[in-house]
Each structure stands twice: as structure tokens, then as C-alpha cells.
Amino acid sequence: MATATLIDTRTCAKLMKAALKEAFPGVQFSVRCDAGTASNWVNVRWHHVDGINWRDVQAVAGRYQGTQFDGSTDSYERLDDAIDENGAVLRYCCQGVDCQAW
């Protein structure tokens, strides 16, 4: 198995913002890394636009999430690694994405 390239949370946030701008042209997004103990989480905010809801934004931003919290075990579960267009294995370090319209 190929060694995965680790993608830090700040880079995940940059990738999310670019993907969101492409998916939703003309919509202004704020994509920020959290601070402190939540520093591996990314906050995504956008001006509410009819037709764009939380699920739409989460579907795009969530592609760059590497783990998911499991409340039943009170722990994080690693998600599958991503494969880029060149076949390289990517492991995203972002633990979660919080999406909210404002």
C-alpha cells in the first residue's frame, strides 16, 4: 500500500474554500480553522442564499475531512484516504467541518 501524504488542516481549509467557490459561484464563504483544542476543525460560514443549504455545503467541504466523531464510542473514526487525479494517496488531517449560514 502506498504511503499517504498528510494534508494539514490549514491546507484542507484552503482546498475547501476553492471547491466551494467552484461549486457555488458568486457566494461569499468564510472558511477558517478553529483555535485551541479544536484546531483541527474548520468553520465554514456563508451568506444565506436560496437553494444552498447546509447539506449542499457539507457535501463539498466534507470531502476534505479525514475523521468523523462517533458519539457512541466518544472517539474519532478515520475516514477513507482520498486519491488525487495523479493516483497519490492523500490523508486529510481535518477532524470536522462546522457549516452554518449567516
Q: Is the dihedral of CA 13, 17, 18, 24 positive or negative?
A: positive
pLDDT tens string 12-67: 999 999 999 999 999 999 999 988 888 999 999 998 877 788 999 999 999 999 99
**Confidence (pLDDT) at 50:** 75
pLDDT tens string 52-77: 889 999 999 999 999 998 899 999 99
- Its pTM surpasses 0.85: yes
94 closest CA partner among 45, 44, 29: 44
Q: Where are the domains of the chain?
A: 5-101
Q: Is the dihedral of CA 39, 41, 43, 44 positive or negative?
A: positive
